[in-house]
Amino acid sequence: MAEEKTKAEAVETAEAVQEVKKAEPKQDPQEYLDNFDWDKYEEGIERVEDSKLKEFETLVEENFVDTADEEVVEGKVVHMTDREAIIDINAKSEGVISLNEFRYNPDLKVGDKVEVLIDIREDKTGQLVLSHRKARTIKAWDRVNDAHDKEEIVTGFVKCRTKGGMIVDVFGIEAFLPGSQIDVKPIRDYDQYVGKTMEFKVVKINHEFKNVVVSHKALIEADIEEQKKEIIGQLEKGQVLEGVVKNVTSYGVFIDLGGVDGLIHITDLSWSRINHPNEVVELDQKLNVVILDFDDNKSRIQLGLKQLEKHPWDALGDEIKIGDKVKGKVVVIADYGAFIEVAEGVEGLIHVSEMSWSTHLRSAQDFVSVGDEVEAVVLTLDREERKMSLGIKQLTPDPWTDITTKYPVGSRHEGIVRNFTNFGVFVEMEEGIDGLIYISDLSWTRKIKHPSEFVTVGDKLEVEVLELDVEGRKLSLGHKQTTENPWDKYATEFAEGSVHKAAVSEIVDKGATVTFNDDIVAFIPSRHMEKEDGKKLTKGEEVEFKIIEFNKDFKRVVASHTAIFREQEERNMRTARKKMAASQEDAPTLGDANAQLQALKEKMEADSKKK
């Protein structure tokens, strides 16, 4: 209004000057010539007094903008259309700005003052074109820095999505809004914010790279912190509160209690077993929860959902008792057994030992699978401890009841090899009845270091019952007893002193081995490997051997090649000694010689006397 008044006053001043001139009296010719204005005659204009010109220049400087100056000026919105805003900057004409440049300010209205920069002084239509965006850009960094230093709230327009967040127009500068700074709760749909005008706080400025980071979350954290303090101060164990599901993880659910987060562990969601929390709750769901516990500063709050309902064990009827048959669904399988849900939230354990009468090691997966409907017998029931043990094998008769009738000592049967140990083989006679064959009872002749050398799991094996312990539920079996012991025959065939011809099989430590047949492998000590020529036997060399030791119980056979010719040598020595002794008996001795000499002497003396 003041500007319009100034223009009106200038017009009135000019009109007043014309009126004064009209009122002046007429002059004579000489006076007219003396006062003739030659400037007006030559230039075609009327001279204005210097004081009037000075006054006019002052009015122009105070009320009109120099359109050649590119400095940012302030204008006023005087009119708005659907697409443009008409801005008065006190120039010769109003300027036009597209409303797109005011997207950050949807509340723009007539009378608002805005900063503008002259973009085009006259377009094709002679219109003054202004730019609010350019003006904002020139002033933007000063405003951004000032807002950051003073921690002021700024308004920005969310332009688009980008990796990790959003691009926001703040004072004409493109600022980055990280996804974590949009709200205090996780954002799942970023697109819902595109095109919105929101309030922000400038949290970081990088002058070197001209980067600006803003946060909307920072504006609401202060209010939330106050709410959080108020809520935490009122927390008590056992208190029931309403919350909203904020996040769902594999181990539990985070609940927003109004600025304070609490966790419902998966075990506190339902009395029944669940595999994942999303089976019970979903995101943004409102529900009531109970406070179970919290730490000293109440920063970690443990919540419960199932505690709002009566415990299923308390609702379990009295009709269930030990010995009853119950039906249920397999919910969990472990190595040691399976948990059966016999009622909602009520589970019983079937230990693997109660799944079958069999005693050899097996896992629960061999009998049941998760989801199976099974029938079982209640073995133990403790309502105070809320524990129940069940059994499946009790549904069938105990096979050991008539064991002495079916498997008397000495009887022969066929079983299936189920398992190995270092000392023997477990053979299943029937479901629930297993017997053990010690490694020494597998073969009469073979020396077995491990049962896997003789049989494999799943093989059918003929056995004989050797011992039966009904109270200890133990059955001792033998396999070799089902065949004749060949060592009884070998004891005669390979008796000590018998001679057999064979080749040297292997050279071993301290001797060699000789294979006489499939069962008999004899050991030849080194000192018994010497041949008649003094050399040692070599592998593959075929000679005669004499059995010098045979032990049926320990399956030990020792043979000797040296004994063959040594025995002949000894016989030859004995013969030589006998002949030598005989010859010595016939030969005259020294006494005989003396006697003969004496007799000869006496004869000679007698003959001399005769002469």
Residue 99 one-letter amino acid: L
Question: Cα dihedral angle (481, 483, 487, 490), rounded to 10 degrees?
Answer: 170
Does residue 105 lie within any of the structural domains? yes
| The Cα angle at residue 310 between residues 308 and 311, in degrees rounded to 5 | 115
Phi, psi of 299 (to 5 degrees): -85, -25
Q: What is the pLDDT of residue 209?
A: 79
Number of domains comprising the chain = 6
Q: Taking the CA of residue 184 as centre, how many other CA atoms within 13 Å lie in the half-sphere pointing to its CB?
A: 15
CA torsion, ordered 476, 482, 483, 489, to nearest 10 deg:
50
Q: Which of 564, 451, 445 is nearest to 502 (CA)?
A: 564
| Same-domain pairing of 192 and 216 | yes
Q: Is residue 508 part of a domain?
A: yes
- Does a structural domain hold residue 536? yes
Same domain, 410 and 455: yes
Query: How far is residue 419's CA from residue 439's CA, in Å, rounded to a whole number?
Result: 13
Does any domain span residue 600? no
Whether 214 is covered by a domain: the verdict is yes
State whether 505 and 533 are in the same domain: yes
**According to the model, what pLDDT value does residue 365 have?**
85
Residue carrying structure tokens 């009468």: 357
Compute the distance between CA of residue 98 and CA of residue 83 in angstroms, rounded to an integer. Answer: 6
Is 491 in the same domain as 557? yes
Residue where a domain stops, chosen among 422, 449, 478: 478
Length of the chain in terms of residues written: 611
- Is the full-model pTM beyond 0.85? no
- Residue 412 and residue 430 share a domain: yes
Q: Are residues 546 and 501 in the same domain?
A: yes
Residue 377's domain spans which residues?
A: 313-393
CATH (domain of 192): 2.40.50.140
| 146 belongs to a structural domain | no
Q: Is residue 556 part of a domain?
A: yes
Q: pLDDT tens for residues 327-371?
A: 999 988 888 899 998 888 888 999 988 888 876 667 888 888 888
Model confidence pLDDT, tens digit, residues 34-68:
665 555 545 445 555 556 556 655 654 554 445 44
Domain boundary among 188, 221, 254: 221
> Which tokens in the block code for residue 549?
């030791």
Kindly give the parts of the chain with pLDDT less than 70: 1-71, 123, 126, 222, 296-299, 359-361, 568-611
Cα separation, 37 vs 193, in Å, equals 73
Helix axes 2-23, 50-63, angle to 10 degrees: 160
What is the predicted pLDDT for the residue at 412?
92
pLDDT confidence of residue 558: 93
Q: Phi then psi for 220, rounded to 5 degrees? A: -100, -10
Dihedral sign from CA coordinates of 86, 88, 93, 98: negative
Domain co-membership, 352 together with 296? no
Do 124 and 100 have their domain in common? yes
Same domain flag for 119 and 176: no
Name the phi and psi angles at 393, rounded to 5: -65, -20
- Among residues 91, 112, 136, which one ends one of the domains? 136
Burial of 317 (0-12, 13-18, 19+ CB in 10 A): exposed
- Distance of alpha carbon 177 from alpha carbon 166, whole angstroms: 5
Judged by DSSP in three states, 604 sits in helix
Is residue 595 one of the residues assigned to a domain? no
Q: Which amino acid is at 161?
A: R
pLDDT at 105: 81
Nearest to 505 by CA among 491, 519, 523: 523
